[in-house]
């Protein structure tokens, strides 16, 4: 430790952001295009897709706490090694998730389910230590804001690449727009993304420094869970993250359907919509530290939550007007980009509060369950969205859409995340005022 500076360098912040860049090259593909891939390219029914998304998340209920417990038992020094060793398996799992094997209808469903479960399990094992790594790099609140701002820049950068290039790339790499050609193009495109994701994860594991690694914990899982259960801040953070990712899953999961069915555009317009979301989200992550400097963490999150609610209402008023819809969508995603780093800052603060209240080290378990919450949120939301498509009688090969389907698309793209944004404001109002707030620690 004597040879390691306490200053978090720009290079280290960039390296930390590469973790979410890597995640979103592959995991971002699942949030933005997996439902579209399953229904329109691989030819699965929307009912089967809904159950695939939900069952995979049930399996994750066992993976996330297990890897969190391993981290707590082994101590913080294991975190960089885990990230380096799991970089290649993560890339492989992400690639095969988009490989279309010529199987029977039931075989296709089983293949999709198993590959998605594999990706989710490996994602748990690499993203949980990555999340916990942020609290081990620094204990300074302003540095944590910086780290998580770079993390969200990486997240939005990955989403930008996926949003901008996916539709053109699968057509170009596949040599055409038929189903077989798009299946081939998707597999090649996923291979390119998986290769980049593997390299980026290796970079994270080599550059980021664990200055404050927690010692190995010798407590049973029951003790760890009981300690976490007494941490009100941690509970609130999980609720906020669940609602946040429900909104993001609805936005990215239904963007292509919204562009085609509500705005009357093409798949390419859906890609432009997603690209707009990533550009504005990236801009939000950049200005996040400046907003927090003026309003504090809770204040910034509350203001941005209110802006999101208003933006969703503007989308309702926009109807099928493309310029108006894009303007409201840009405002919405800018506010989401500012908000995204803040919940991770609050989560780190909540873990610190728990550390002061109890000697039991729960960082690994806390982050693992938080990762589970994000994926559970995406899985449940994906199931709900697929159910909406089923109620609207959506079919990938049909180009005439009924009014009922349009109502269900609006329910998934606007009304569902609108409710999630409003509930976030309620949870932010419940943040305990008597607890030392990260707001007071943000000035460098």
Residue-wise pLDDT tens digits, 249-294 = 898 888 888 998 899 888 788 888 888 888 898 888 888 888 888 8
**410-416 mean pLDDT:** 93
320/344 same-domain check: yes
The answer as to whether 432 is a domain residue is yes
**39-45 mean pLDDT:** 87
86/188 same-domain check: yes
242/201 same-domain check: no
Residue 83 has pLDDT above 90, yes or no: yes
Instruction: Give the count of beta carbons closer than 10 Å to the beta carbon of residue 264.
Output: 11
The answer as to whether 362 is a domain residue is yes
Q: Which domain holds residue 132?
A: 11-212
Picking from 100-109, 195-204, 225-234, 381-390, which range would have the lowest pLDDT averaged per residue? 225-234
The burial of 55, by beta-carbon neighbours within 10 Å (0-12 exposed, 13-18 middle, 19 or more buried), is given as: middle
280/321 same-domain check: yes
User: What's the mean per-residue pLDDT of the chain?
Assistant: 84
207/301 same-domain check: no
264/339 same-domain check: yes
233/373 same-domain check: yes
Q: What span, in angstroms and rounded, lies between the C-alpha atoms of 300 and 267? A: 34
Residue 443 has pLDDT above 50, yes or no: no
Q: What span, in angstroms and rounded, lies between the C-alpha atoms of 306 and 309? A: 5
Question: Which tokens sit at 378?
Answer: 């995406």
The answer as to whether 380 is a domain residue is yes
**String of DSSP letters for 81-149:** HHHHHHHHHHHHHHHHTT------HHHHHHHHHHHHHHHHHHHHHHHHHHHHHHHHH---HHHHHHHHH
Name the phi and psi angles at 126, rounded to 5: -105, -30
Confidence tier at 61 by pLDDT (50, 70, 90): low
177/309 same-domain check: no
The pLDDT of residue 194 is 93
283/415 same-domain check: yes
DSSP conformation class of 4: S
Q: What span, in angstroms and rounded, lies between the C-alpha atoms of 413 and 409? A: 6
Residue ending a domain, choose from 212, 241, 265: 212
CATH of the domain at 365: 1.20.1250.20
For residue 354, give the 3-state DSSP assignment. Answer: helix
**130-154 mean pLDDT:** 81
* % of the chain with per-residue pLDDT over 70: 93
Residue 436 has pLDDT above 50, yes or no: no
At a CB cut-off of 8 Å and minimum separation 6, what does 116 contact?
30, 34, 52, 53, 56, 97
Cβ 68 vs Cβ 128: under 8 Å = yes
Cβ 442 vs Cβ 293: under 8 Å = yes
* % of the chain with per-residue pLDDT over 90: 30
286/363 same-domain check: yes
| Number of separate domains in the chain | 2
Question: Which tokens sit at 280?
Answer: 């504005």
327/356 same-domain check: yes
292/398 same-domain check: yes
The answer as to whether 421 is a domain residue is yes
Residue ending a domain, choose from 153, 185, 212: 212
Segment 66-79, tens digit of pLDDT: 887 788 778 778 88
The pLDDT of residue 4 is 54
Question: Which tokens sit at 97?
Answer: 């998730």
**81-96 mean pLDDT:** 93
The answer as to whether 382 is a domain residue is yes
**39-50 mean pLDDT:** 87
| Cα 404 → chain centroid | 30
Of 21-35, 66-80, 173-187, which one has max mean pLDDT?
173-187
The answer as to whether 444 is a domain residue is no
Confidence tier at 327 by pLDDT (50, 70, 90): very high
The answer as to whether 4 is a domain residue is no
Question: Which tokens sit at 30?
Answer: 């699942």
DSSP conformation class of 263: S
Residue ending a domain, choose from 154, 181, 212: 212
Q: What angle do CA 43, 245, 93 make, to 5 degrees?
A: 50
The answer as to whether 443 is a domain residue is no
At a CB cut-off of 8 Å and minimum separation 6, what does 8 contact?
137, 138, 140, 143, 146, 147
The helix or strand, by DSSP H or E, that contains position 385, with its residue range, turns out to be: helix 363-391
* 202 or 210: which leads in pLDDT: 202
């Amino acid at each position: 430790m004597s040879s390691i500076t306490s200053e978090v360098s720009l290079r280290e912040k960039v390296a930390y952001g590469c973790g979410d860049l890597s995640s979103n090259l592959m995991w971002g593909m699942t949030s933005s295009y997996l439902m579209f891939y399953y229904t329109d390219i691989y030819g699965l029914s929307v009912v089967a897709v809904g159950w695939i998304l939900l069952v995979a998340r049930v399996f994750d209920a066992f993976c996330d706490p297990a890897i969190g417990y391993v981290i707590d038992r082994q101590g913080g020094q294991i975190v960089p090694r885990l990230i380096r060793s799991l970089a290649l398996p993560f890339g492989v799992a992400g690639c095969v998730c988009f490989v279309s094997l010529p199987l029977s209808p039931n075989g296709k469903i089983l293949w999709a389910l198993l590959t998605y479960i594999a990706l989710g399990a490996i994602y748990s094992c690499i993203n949980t230590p990555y999340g916990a790594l942020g609290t081990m790099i620094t204990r300074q609140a302003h540095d944590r804001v910086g780290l998580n701002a770079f993390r969200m820049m990486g997240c939005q950068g990955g989403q930008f690449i996926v949003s901008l290039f996916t539709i053109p790339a699968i057509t170009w790499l596949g040599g055409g727009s038929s189903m077989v050609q798009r299946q081939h193009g998707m597999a090649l495109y996923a291979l390119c993304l998986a290769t980049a994701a593997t390299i980026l994860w290796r970079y994270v594991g080599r550059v980021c420094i664990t200055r404050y690694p927690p010692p190995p914990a010798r407590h049973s899982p029951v003790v760890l869970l009981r300690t976490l259960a007494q941490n009100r801040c941690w509970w609130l953070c999980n609720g906020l993250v669940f609602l946040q990712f429900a909104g993001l899953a609805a936005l990215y999961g239904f963007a292509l359907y919204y562009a085609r069915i509500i705005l009357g555009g093409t798949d390419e317009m859906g890609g432009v919509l997603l690209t707009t979301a990533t550009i504005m989200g990236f801009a939000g992550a950049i200005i996040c530290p400046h907003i927090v400097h003026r309003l504090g963490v809770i204040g910034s999150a509350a203001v941005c939550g209110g802006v999101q609610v208003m933006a969703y209402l503007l989308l309702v008023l926009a109807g099928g007007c493309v310029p108006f819809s894009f303007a409201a969508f840009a405002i919405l995603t800018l506010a989401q980009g500012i908000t995204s780093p803040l919940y991770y800052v609050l989560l780190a603060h909540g873990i610190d509060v728990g550390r002061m209240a109890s000697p039991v080290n729960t960082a690994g378990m806390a982050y693992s369950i938080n990762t589970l919450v994000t994926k559970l949120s995406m899985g449940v939301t994906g199931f709900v969205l697929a159910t909406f498509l089923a109620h609207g009688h959506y079919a990938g090969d049909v180009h005439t859409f009924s009014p009922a389907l349009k109502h269900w698309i609006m329910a998934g793209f606007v009304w569902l995340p609108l409710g999630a944004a409003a509930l976030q404001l309620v949870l932010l109002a419940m943040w305990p005022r008597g607890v030392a707030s990260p707001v007071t620690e943000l000035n460098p």
